[in-house]
Structure 1
Amino acid sequence: MTEVVQVHLVCGGVFHDFDFARLEILKLLSEWDRVRTTVGQDYSDVTALSRSDVLVTYTCNVAPTAEQIQALRTFIERGGRWFALHATNAVTEWLSGPGEEPRVDTPDLPAPFIDMLGSQFKAHPPLGERFWVRASEPVHPLAEGIGPFLADDELYLSSYRSGNIPILETRWKGDVPYFTEGSWPEESAHLVMYLRPTDLGGVLYLTLGHCRGHYDFRPVYPYYPKVERCSWDLPVFYHLLRRGLGWAIDRTDR
């Protein structure tokens, strides 16, 4: 008899179409008939996490408490695999008011949380500035067979902890004046997908996957004029999602 895999999905926060992302992730999880899933909007259900083999997160401005960080650490230490998506590592604070030029700060998340995740979001260039995503060198099995592709998404500029294994990356330099940490003068590799393994478990992070509907940017914009699906419109993104879920559920490297 095939053993059931228990997954806990955390999907919630601000400034994104979490209803869309949640549904798409759940549809992908349903492709594994031995997967059973619990769903939350934050990290508060530590009981569900303690019973899970896999954690999948798609959040923004969701910071765990000290108790929840300990539950996450225990999850990883006992062999849990965490597939973190898009803005899981992001907290943003709008400093500008209505009608003013946008000004956004990215205050620090709790250090033990970032130690587990391996990165913290700091800025991104405006949407619409497409960028090439390529496999890192040496090529990791999770990137095998994936050629360069052009992404219309948020290019995450982040600070990193040591110990991440690059899988996919892009290169960029420039200024993002509406973020407080908006100066990136040196061209360097910015990780799009990376692995942060531990002895038994670990974290796989994929920064792509921004999405927003008309009513997801309140109160900054009561009605956002454009529906943004970004990488969700790319078949290669779903291929990466399936690979990431396979890494977590089937314990495969590809």
Structure 2
Amino acid sequence: MANNEAKRIDCVLIAGGLYHDIDFARLELLKLLGEDERVRTRVFEDYSNIEAITSADFIITYTCDVVPSLEAQEALRNYVQGGGRWYALHGTNSVLRLFESGLYGSPRWAPLFMETLGSQFVAHPPIAPYTVTVADPDHKLTQGIQPFETTDELYLMELHGDLHVLLETEFSGEATGFDEHEWAHGTHPVLYIKPQGEGAVLYNTLGHCRGHYDMQPHLDYWPTVDRCAWDLPVFYDLLRRGIAWAKGD
């Protein structure tokens, strides 16, 4: 191989699930991945192609209520522990069910999956502005990032294991519409790394997006197009940094 021939980097992007404009998120992530000509990306809606996932140099996920089979959960854990890097976005850590009460709940049905990710989504308050602060300003993923305000889903989560928190926010109050709706004042991770074995998961809770048709079958037509943190240059900065981290750059 000549010195000017860069090595190919294989990525698996998993984008699928409920209540989000998956088409928009998929396209934006593919455009970012396409900024590096070394990266070749295969795209799936779920985790069923275990061979492709475990053969990739890194994986990125943007999903909501997409839960891997136990076999895939074990493969993902082994992939990360063996040195793989996984950039997980927004609703990757969600399991959602609508209860007879009319409230959404987050069943703890995939503990191995959530332990690998480092968290499980439990609830979020109504979408409203909140401030994201920098927990570790010296880390390469957050160096130079200033506190910023975003209008997005503020994730309230159950945490698993030793997390290196990079960005965080504070919240107390009601997570309206969720079974676990009362939250005392606390600090909640927005961006963190969970090292494990030779690899790691980088989790970014930001990035809700929703188009007119993404609340079906509960609502035929959502009246607005919501882009949330996707409207912010700092979010794209964080996405690019996360992709660079996942590639090992």
Normalised by the shorter chain, which TM-score bucket? over 0.9
SS in 2 for 1:130: strand
Stretch deviating more after TM superposition (105-114 or 9-18): 105-114
SS in 2 for 1:152: strand
Aligned equivalent of 1:213: 211
Aligned equivalent of 1:67: 71
Q: How many angstroms does 1:78 deviate by?
A: 2.3
Q: How many angstroms does 1:141 deviate by?
A: 2.6
Q: How many angstroms does 1:199 deviate by?
A: 3.5
Aligned equivalent of 2:160: 161
For residues 103-124 of structure 1, give each alpha carbon's deviation from its aligned partner in whole angstroms, at most 9, with x where no partner exists: 2111114111111000000110
Letter in 2 for 1:88: T
For residues 189-215 of structure 1, give each alpha carbon's deviation from its aligned partner in whole angstroms, at most 9, with x where no partner exists: 100000001242110000000000000
Q: Do the aligned partners of 2:115 and 2:161 also contact (CA within 8 Å) in 1?
A: no
Query: Within the alignment, does 1:194 sit opposite 2:172 as a pair?
Result: no
Alignment partners' CA distance in 1, 2:25 and 2:109: 23
Aligned equivalent of 1:131: 130
Query: Within the alignment, does 1:150 sit opposite 2:149 as a pair?
Result: yes
Alignment partners' CA distance in 2, 1:232 and 1:134: 18
Letter in 2 for 1:130: P
Letter in 2 for 1:147: Q
Alignment partners' CA distance in 2, 1:196 and 1:166: 9
Alignment partners' CA distance in 1, 2:136 and 2:88: 22
Alignment partners' CA distance in 1, 2:166 and 2:63: 22
Aligned equivalent of 1:174: 173
Q: Do the aligned partners of 2:125 and 2:176 also contact (CA within 8 Å) in 1?
A: no
Match of 1:45 among 46, 49, 59: 49
For residues 96-154 of structure 1, give each alpha carbon's deviation from its aligned partner in whole angstroms, at most 9, with x where no partner exists: 68xxxx52111114111111000000110101x21000101464331110001001000
Letter in 1 for 2:134: A
Alignment partners' CA distance in 1, 2:25 and 2:67: 19
Alignment partners' CA distance in 2, 1:158 and 1:73: 20
Q: How many angstroms does 1:74 deviate by?
A: 2.3
Q: How many angstroms does 1:177 deviate by?
A: 3.6
Q: How many angstroms does 1:65 deviate by?
A: 0.6
Aligned equivalent of 1:26: 30
- Size of the aligned set, in residue pairs, is 245
Q: Do the aligned partners of 1:96 and 1:104 also contact (CA within 8 Å) in 2?
A: no
Query: Within the alignment, does 1:80 sit opposite 2:80 as a pair?
Result: no
Q: Do the aligned partners of 2:97 and 2:107 also contact (CA within 8 Å) in 1?
A: yes
Alignment partners' CA distance in 2, 1:162 and 1:110: 15
Q: Do the aligned partners of 1:139 and 1:167 also contact (CA within 8 Å) in 2?
A: no
TM-score between both structures, scaled by the size of structure 1: 0.93
Alignment partners' CA distance in 2, 1:193 and 1:146: 12
Letter in 1 for 2:209: C
Letter in 2 for 1:55: I
Aligned equivalent of 2:229: 231
Gaps of 5+ in 1: none
SS in 1 for 2:152: coil
Q: How many angstroms does 1:95 deviate by?
A: 2.6
Stretch deviating more after TM superposition (150-159 or 193-202): 193-202
SS in 1 for 2:141: helix
Q: How many angstroms does 1:93 deviate by?
A: 1.3
Alignment partners' CA distance in 2, 1:139 and 1:174: 31
Q: How many angstroms does 1:162 deviate by?
A: 2.2
Alignment partners' CA distance in 1, 2:156 and 2:220: 27
Aligned equivalent of 1:119: 119
For residues 42-87 of structure 1, give each alpha carbon's deviation from its aligned partner in whole angstroms, at most 9, with x where no partner exists: 0001111121010100000101111111221221122110000000
Letter in 2 for 1:6: D
SS in 2 for 1:132: strand
CA RMSD of aligned residues (A): 1.3
